[in-house]
Amino acid sequence: MIGAKPTLGVYGPYGRDKSGVAHYISDSIKYLGNEYRVTVISNSSRWVDPYSFNATLYHLGNNRMHHSAFKAARLRPGIALIHEYLHLDYYYQAHDLVPASLQVDILTSLKAATGVHAATLGEFLDRCAQSGTTDPYAIDVGVEKHIVHTSAMSVVHSQGVADMLKARYPAAAVEMIPFPVEPWPTEPDQGHLRHYGIPEGTFTFGTFGFIGEYKQVPWILTAWRQWHDRPSDTRLLLVGERQIDVDADAEGVIEFGYVDDAEFTRLLASVDCGIQLREPSLGETSGPAASLTAHGRPLIVSDIPEMRLLGGGARTMFVESGDRVIENLIAAIRSQYKLGRASHNGFDTRFSWDGWTAAILKLLGRKPIR
């Protein structure tokens, strides 16, 4: 057909997959669809050979839900959007689907780094659990090389990660594109929090997303309890489903658990200051932190390369890890409260979907339709 759009295969989590990347892909389709006929291939959909499309885009993350993307990326070089560069857990979870030669290469690297010998990835996990001394998920053995070396372009959302990958792989093509977010329509909605019994005028802190081991919510809760001169007009919101057990029974702490996407955004837009930590980091970028930064909202983040781009915000504070992390965190929380609420400063278009689309289309060899 004359004038028909070219085809684009997007591989990664989708639909009912309980994944932030699934939402990311869903949001991206309406932008990419202006230029391409987009087909998403997830683990649960019918497999389609990546060579069936004019172009391909792979979303690569740290669990089995990304297997379709890893499989396609091994078959055909394309644009690889690496959501976490240290994605060992994908290989652990999908070990039965990973080629034997690739498993051997990864196991050799893991043995060199840890001294733990194992015949399979499953056995390696068991031996680490028995020893209790090695965190098998955060061993940086350059596992990303299996994607970076075979991709036409590797895309990340952090300048710090981009610089690291360029240093490790000088011959590889690596680009940084800021994490895309939608602009909030209005000023912070303080009134929305009244539905949860939070008085108007309360200064609210919030941490958002799955409550997992590396997000260090226990540090946040410890700092909250040890903020001994904490004003009574403060609250800490925990918004996200638990993946680990935490003791959230503390004065001024409100745990929401899992909420739908619309409510997640309303709560994110309602808080006065976000707290998004990573320790250790697997190279992921925080979507909630990007959204808060894009709207000029006060933010407290870990002092790691993945969060460097967020430093453009005048009210972004970086917290160093180590022996004094709780003390540093209390100081940052106290400082943000004393500085008061930030006025609505519009939207930083570096984080816009339009900017993301233009950058991705350029990498794919297309220009956006105006």
Decide if 259 is inside a domain. Answer: yes
Query: Is the same domain home to 360 and 279?
Result: no
pLDDT at 241: 87
Q: Which domain holds residue 14?
A: 7-87+144-180+352-364
Query: Is the same domain home to 162 and 212?
Result: no
Query: Is the same domain home to 154 and 260?
Result: no
Decide if 139 is inside a domain. Answer: no
Q: Give pTM, 2 decimals.
A: 0.90
pLDDT at 38: 97
Query: Is the same domain home to 71 and 40?
Result: yes
Decide if 211 is inside a domain. Answer: yes
Amino acid sitting at position 48: V
DSSP result, 94-118 = TTTTS-HHHHHHHHHHHHHHH----
Query: Is the same domain home to 202 and 339?
Result: yes
Nearest alpha-carbon partner for 82 in 179, 168, 207, 14 = 179
Specify the number of domains making up the chain: 2
pLDDT at 369: 44
Decide if 370 is inside a domain. Answer: no
Query: Is the same domain home to 303 and 359?
Result: no
| Cβ–Cβ under 8 Å, residues 316 and 301 | yes
Query: Is the same domain home to 291 and 231?
Result: yes
Query: Is the same domain home to 257 and 169?
Result: no
Query: Is the same domain home to 27 and 165?
Result: yes
Enter the tokens of residue 91: 């290989």
Decide if 230 is inside a domain. Answer: yes
Decide if 156 is inside a domain. Answer: yes
Q: Which residues contact 328 (CB under 8 A, 6 or more apart)?
A: 319, 320
Residue 301 to residue 277: CA distance in whole angstroms: 5
Query: Is the same domain home to 75 and 210?
Result: no
pLDDT at 178: 93
Decide if 173 is inside a domain. Answer: yes
Query: Is the same domain home to 201 and 343?
Result: yes
Decide if 167 is inside a domain. Answer: yes
Query: Is the same domain home to 235 and 333?
Result: yes
Residue 265 to residue 155: CA distance in whole angstroms: 25
CATH of the domain at 278: 3.40.50.2000
Nearest alpha-carbon partner for 51 in 24, 67, 79, 72 = 72
* pLDDT tens, the chain, 370 aa long: 556 899 999 999 998 887 889 999 999 999 999 999 999 999 999 999 999 999 999 999 999 999 999 999 999 999 999 999 999 999 999 999 999 999 999 999 999 999 999 999 999 999 999 988 788 999 999 999 999 999 999 999 988 899 999 999 999 999 999 999 999 876 656 678 888 889 888 999 999 988 887 788 999 999 999 999 999 999 999 998 888 888 888 899 999 998 888 899 899 999 999 999 988 777 777 888 889 989 888 999 998 877 876 655 668 999 988 899 999 999 999 999 999 988 777 889 999 999 999 999 999 986 554 4
